[in-house]
């Protein structure tokens, strides 16, 4: 009797213990990154790296002063923030048009846009590069940003949200003689704020973490983004402590966004299945 | 840069039918027609920036990819039409068959690994109520980072001399194992890195799927005396199948596009044992500037991804 109760208690504890262990294993790489980044020069190999004899900021100071990391951070911020603003604006405009306006070829156009989801970006990498380079966009911000604005998921998400808004709202505003742009900015945008926030977070993460496109467009050291720069750093003879310091700098904005909006982010993936 | 552009012209076809269908009925018809025309103008105007961006940077490159693959376009911009020569050249190129083999092998390793990791964590989270939000957050954490970051960290973890895993193996007087330096270990090692980075996404989808299964089903099985494993195997898993299938397709498509981790961790090595199709595309394009040939590789990748999507559509169509 007592034995079976004990057995059932261990049975009940198995899952939580397993969960805690899995969680620890999942976080370990991050913990290792931070520990190595704060370890002194000697701490490059396993036991010393994880149990450093002292903590130092030298790796961060070094990486921030001797490499292009500050410049790369600026590039990443520009690439991400400008893209977020423009995608939110253009996608909500297009979403409004596709949801609430009838125009010739509307549905065919919408399906044509959705069909581009089937084409992986890599398949069009070369023509996109040639196009941008012919237009003089290599090593420029616009060359890096503009081609990424054609985002199907963004239009789709905004359309889905705006379709649910009641038509009476727009009819009433139209009766009052409000211009379309006014209706859009004072009725549509405020009502879809949750969708805009969700989309904004995703677009930020997609762009902040993007690699292949910034790699081919930002070729000079000056124009690389943080992810590209990090790949460059680690292919050179930079000590691992400094690479991990660079990696830590790279991950901070993503973690900030995640920390602030965790609940929100995970819920919206479960609901909409957004994936970059 | 992209604004201030003229309205994208509506595609032909359906454009002509509008006015005729609305044609003069009753007096308010005129007003209605005017309203409809205004609506169409406003709609096109609002959609214009995105339509223009898509026309230039999405549809353009798709068409461009097809055309380029039929030419020998070079860095200088000179080209001649060579028909299907790039494709026949691919057929006789050992490098291509190697990278195709690497990619398929990677798919075969990565997909089950990721799906199992996400299913296991989702099933655990579904059962355990204690601190669910916290655990869900922890498992999702790597997903918000970049694959480059994951690759940089894991490259150190796998390092034969300094790395974490070999350090631990050393404590047990085992190893060292050169995970990224051995042909047969490199793909599983990279797959594990990518799975760590990405399993949080599939986990969330599967968790939502699990939570959508009515509790009464598993409770009924419990009354019939089914144990936890039997309940999972015979009740939960069949009901979860559509979601599971969706997740498998998404992860398969992800796996076909593998590049970043290989670029950072191995440079395609050792001896091309992690040289994927996208890697070959990148090399042909930006190392040898063989743009036509690289475009042909891009279309091969497209065909694989399209194939996987079509299989999904077919199966999901039949299930529901």
The encoded tokens of residue A92 equal 């909500």
CA distances A192 to A160, A164, A165, A265, B199, Å, are 10, 10, 9, 16, 30
Number of Cβ atoms within 10 Å of the Cβ of B212: 11
Number of domains in chain B: 2
pLDDT tens-digit map of A235-260: 888 889 999 999 999 999 999 988 88
CA distances B126 to B133, B248, B307, Å, are 11, 20, 33
**Model pLDDT, residue A264:** 79
B chain contacts of residue A124, beta-carbon cutoff 8 Å: 58, 61-62, 64-65, 298
Hey, is A36 helix, strand or coil?
helix
Burial of A129 from C-beta contacts in 10 A (0-12 / 13-18 / 19+): buried
* Residue A258 to residue A246: CA distance in whole angstroms: 19
Q: Nearest-CA residue of chain B relative to A100?
A: B43
- Note whether A118 contacts B168, CB cutoff 8 Å: no
B chain contacts of residue A147, beta-carbon cutoff 8 Å: 57
Q: Across the strands, what pairs with B81?
A: B71
**Model pLDDT, residue A8:** 61
Query: Could you tell me if residue B8 is inside a domain?
Result: no
**Are B64 and B168 within one domain?**
no
Residue A82 touches chain B, beta carbons under 8 Å? no
- Put simply, the chain A residues between 133 and 162 with a CB less than 8 A from any chain B CB are 134, 142, 146-147, 149-150, 155
pLDDT tens-digit map of A147-199: 999 999 999 999 999 999 999 988 888 888 889 999 999 999 999 999 999 99
pLDDT tens-digit map of A35-72: 989 988 766 666 666 677 788 899 999 999 988 999 99
What CATH number matches the domain at A65-274, 3.60.15.10, 3.40.1190.20, 1.10.287.3510, 1.10.3720.10?
Answer: 1.10.3720.10
**Model pLDDT, residue A49:** 66
The sign of the dihedral angle between the CA atoms of A18, A19, A24, A29 is positive
Residue A104 touches chain B, beta carbons under 8 Å? yes
**Are B183 and B273 within one domain?**
yes
Burial of A158 from C-beta contacts in 10 A (0-12 / 13-18 / 19+): buried
Instruction: Give ranges for CATH 1.10.3720.10 in chain A.
Output: 65-274
Give the one of B65, B147, B263 whose C-beta lies nearest to A126's C-beta. B65
How far does the CA of residue B184 sit from the closest CA of chain A (Å)?
A: 23
pLDDT tens-digit map of A73-92: 999 999 999 999 999 999 99
Inter-residue contact A97 to B43 (CB < 8 Å): yes
**Are B49 and B177 within one domain?**
no
**Are B111 and B253 within one domain?**
yes
**pLDDT (mean) for A7-12:** 63
Helix pair angle (A69-100, A58-66), 10° resolution: 80
**Domain with B181 in it:** 94-317
Query: Could you tell me if residue B215 is inside a domain?
Result: yes
How far does the CA of residue A197 sit from the closest CA of chain B (Å)?
A: 16
Q: How many CB pairs under 8 A join A and B?
A: 289
**Model pLDDT, residue A22:** 95
Residue A177 touches chain B, beta carbons under 8 Å? no
Number of Cβ atoms within 10 Å of the Cβ of A16: 16
State the Cα torsion A46-A51-A52-A57 to the nearest 10°.
100
Cis peptide before A244 (omega within 30 of 0): no
* Residue B61 to residue B67: CA distance in whole angstroms: 9
Annotate B281-320 with b (16+ C-beta within 10 A) or e (fewer): bbbbbbeeebbbbbbbbbbbbbebbbebbeebeeeeeeee
Lowest mean pLDDT segment, chosen from A63-67, A208-212, A229-233, B116-120:
A63-67
**Are B273 and B240 within one domain?**
yes
- Note whether A130 contacts B149, CB cutoff 8 Å: no
B chain contacts of residue A130, beta-carbon cutoff 8 Å: 64, 68, 73, 291
Number of Cβ atoms within 10 Å of the Cβ of B91: 10
Q: How far is CA A7 from the centre of its chain?
A: 46
pLDDT per position in chain B (320 positions), as tens?
A: 333 333 333 333 333 333 334 444 455 678 888 888 888 999 999 999 999 999 999 999 999 999 999 999 988 888 999 999 999 999 999 999 999 999 999 999 999 999 999 999 999 999 887 888 899 999 999 999 999 999 999 999 998 887 888 888 888 888 789 999 999 999 999 999 999 999 999 999 999 999 999 988 888 888 888 888 888 889 999 999 999 999 999 999 999 999 999 999 999 989 999 999 999 999 999 999 999 999 999 999 999 999 998 887 777 655 44
């Amino acid at each position: 009797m007592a034995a079976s109760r004990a057995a059932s208690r261990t049975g009940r504890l198995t899952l939580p213990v397993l969960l805690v262990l899995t969680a620890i294993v999942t976080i370990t790489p991050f913990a290792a990154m931070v520990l190595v980044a704060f370890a002194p020069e000697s701490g490059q190999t396993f036991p010393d790296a994880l149990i450093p004899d002292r903590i130092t900021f030298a790796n961060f100071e070094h990486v921030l002063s001797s490499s292009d990391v500050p410049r790369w951070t600026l590039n990443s911020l520009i690439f991400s923030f400008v893209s977020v603003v423009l995608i939110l604006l253009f996608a909500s405009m297009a979403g409004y048009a596709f949801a609430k306006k009838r125009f010739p070829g509307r549905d065919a156009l919408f399906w044509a846009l959705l069909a581009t989801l089937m084409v992986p970006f890599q398949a069009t990498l070369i023509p996109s590069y040639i196009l941008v380079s012919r237009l003089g966009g290599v090593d420029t911000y616009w060359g890096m940003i503009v081609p990424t604005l054609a985002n199907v998921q963004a239009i789709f998400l905004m359309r889905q949200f705006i379709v649910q808004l009641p038509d009476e709202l727009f009819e009433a505003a139209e009766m009052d003689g409000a211009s379309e742009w006014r209706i859009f900015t004072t009725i549509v945008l405020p009502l879809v704020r949750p969708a805009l926030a969700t989309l904004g977070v995703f677009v930020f993460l997609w762009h902040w973490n993007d690699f292949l496109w910034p790699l081919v467009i930002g070729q000079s050291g000056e124009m690389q983004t943080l992810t590209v720069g990090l790949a460059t750093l680690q292919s050179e003879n930079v000590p691992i402590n400094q690479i991990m310091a660079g990696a830590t700098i790279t991950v901070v904005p993503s973690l900030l966004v995640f920390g602030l909006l965790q609940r929100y982010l995970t819920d919206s993936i479960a609901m909409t299945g957004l994936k970059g | 840069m992209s604004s201030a552009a003229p309205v994208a012209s509506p595609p032909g076809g359906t454009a002509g039918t509008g006015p005729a269908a609305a044609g003069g009925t009753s007096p308010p018809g005129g007003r209605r027609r005017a309203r409809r025309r205004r609506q169409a103008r406003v709609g096109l105007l609002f959609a214009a920036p995105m339509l223009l961006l898509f026309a230039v940077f999405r549809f353009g490159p798709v068409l461009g990819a097809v055309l380029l693959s039929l030419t020998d376009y070079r860095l200088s911009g000179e080209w001649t039409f060579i028909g299907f020569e790039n494709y026949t050249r691919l057929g006789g190129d050992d490098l291509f068959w190697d990278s195709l083999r690497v990619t398929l092998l990677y798919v075969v390793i990565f997909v089950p690994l990721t799906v199992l990791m996400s299913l296991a964590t989702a099933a655990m989270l579904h059962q355990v109520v204690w601190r669910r939000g916290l655990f869900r957050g922890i498992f999702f954490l790597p997903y918000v980072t970049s694959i480059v970051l994951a690759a940089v960290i894991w490259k150190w973890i796998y390092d034969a001399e300094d790395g974490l895993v070999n350090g631990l193996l050393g404590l047990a007087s085992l190893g060292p194992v050169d995970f990224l330096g051995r042909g047969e270990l490199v793909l599983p090692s990279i797959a594990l890195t990518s799975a760590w980075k990405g399993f949080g996404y599939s986990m969330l989808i599967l968790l939502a799927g699990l939570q959508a299964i009515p509790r009464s089903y598993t409770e009924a099985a419990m009354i019939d005396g089914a144990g936890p494993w039997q309940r999972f195997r015979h009740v939960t898993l069949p009901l979860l199948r559509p979601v599971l299938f969706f997740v498998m397709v998404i992860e398969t498509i992800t796996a076909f596009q593998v590049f970043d981790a290989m670029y950072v961790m191995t440079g395609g090595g050792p001896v091309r044992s992690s040289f994927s199709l996208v890697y070959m595309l990148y090399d042909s394009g930006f190392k040898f500037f063989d743009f036509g040939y690289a475009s042909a590789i891009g279309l091969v990748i497209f065909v694989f991804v399209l194939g996987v999507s079509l299989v999904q559509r077919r199966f999901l169509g039949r299930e529901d």
